[in-house]
Amino acid sequence: DADVTQTPRNRITKTGKRIMLECSQTKGHDRMYWYRQDPGLGLRLIYYSFDVKDINKGEISDGYSVSRQAQAKFSLSLESAIPNQTALYFCATSDLRGGGYEQFFGPGTRLTVL
Amino acid sequence: GQQVMQIPQYQHVQEGEDFTTYCNSSTTLSNIQWYKQRPGGHPVFLIQLVKSGEVKKQKRLTFQFGEAKKNSSLHITATQTTDVGTYFCAGPGSGGSNYKLTFGKGTLLTVNP
């Protein structure tokens, strides 16, 4: 969805490096999420945030941290990247006000850790 | 934690054939969502089902939610090459929260023209 943007779109880094993936949205949604996608494993939730003061761990948060700098921005950091963090990362948003729970995904960041 | 199992993992069909993917949960779901991800793309919301036994249609796509709200299916009639992609079901996350999702592993559909 063009209203959810992610930077960078592709990144190659080395083991041990610190990496930050950024997500911005213009949808005005309160809720933001970070997922990783691996072939055959579907989408797994890393962290989620229901508002600027609320950060929650997902099912696979080890090795990751997040920052919700503003309602519109949610960043994912890998403090010391390792090869098994090579994956496709998606940011998503959702809005309580709509009454449904659908999530809107960004275009994804393909991360390779060598 | 809550798991949503999805089968099959892969399905290859000839254009014009039908396709069905199934989603099952061991616990009752308050709702279920379906998403489609085109190759190289991102997941896009298709539909949400909430009511027991609910059936919804979108052109050639038919979505069903089981009577016990533990299973769901997506059926595509007369597939087209534009249907290629991975179809995911997603249920409420752990603790039953509707604001985070647990995704199935997806069914990759390929269509031979």
Q: What is the DSSP letter of B27?
A: S
Average pLDDT, chain B: 93
Provide the pLDDT for residue A101: 77
Residues B42-84 pLDDT 10s = 999 999 999 999 999 999 999 999 999 999 999 999 999 999 9
Closest approach of chain A CAs to the CA of B105, in angstroms? 4
Cβ neighbours of A102 in B, within 8 Å: 33, 45, 48
Provide the pLDDT for residue A9: 97
Provide the pLDDT for residue B92: 85
Separation between Cα atoms, residue A71 and residue A89, nearest integer Å: 20
Query: B-side interface with A, Cβ within 8 Å?
Result: 1, 6, 9, 31, 33, 41-45, 48, 88, 90, 92-94, 98-106
Provide the pLDDT for residue B49: 95
Residues A25-46 pLDDT 10s = 999 999 999 999 998 888 999 9
Provide the pLDDT for residue B93: 73
pLDDT at position B2 over 80:
no
| Number of alpha carbons in the 13 Å side-chain half-sphere of residue A54 | 9
Closest approach of chain A CAs to the CA of B92, in angstroms? 9
The number of helix segments (H) and strand segments (E) in chain A equals 0, 11
Provide the pLDDT for residue A1: 52
| Proportion of chain A above pLDDT 90, given as a percent | 83
Structure tokens at A9: 């779109």
Question: With an 8 Å Cβ cutoff, are A100 and B104 in contact?
Answer: no
What is the rounded average pLDDT of the residues A77-82? 96
Q: Which of A45, A102, A108 lies closest to B33 in CB terms?
A: A102
pLDDT at position B1 over 80:
no
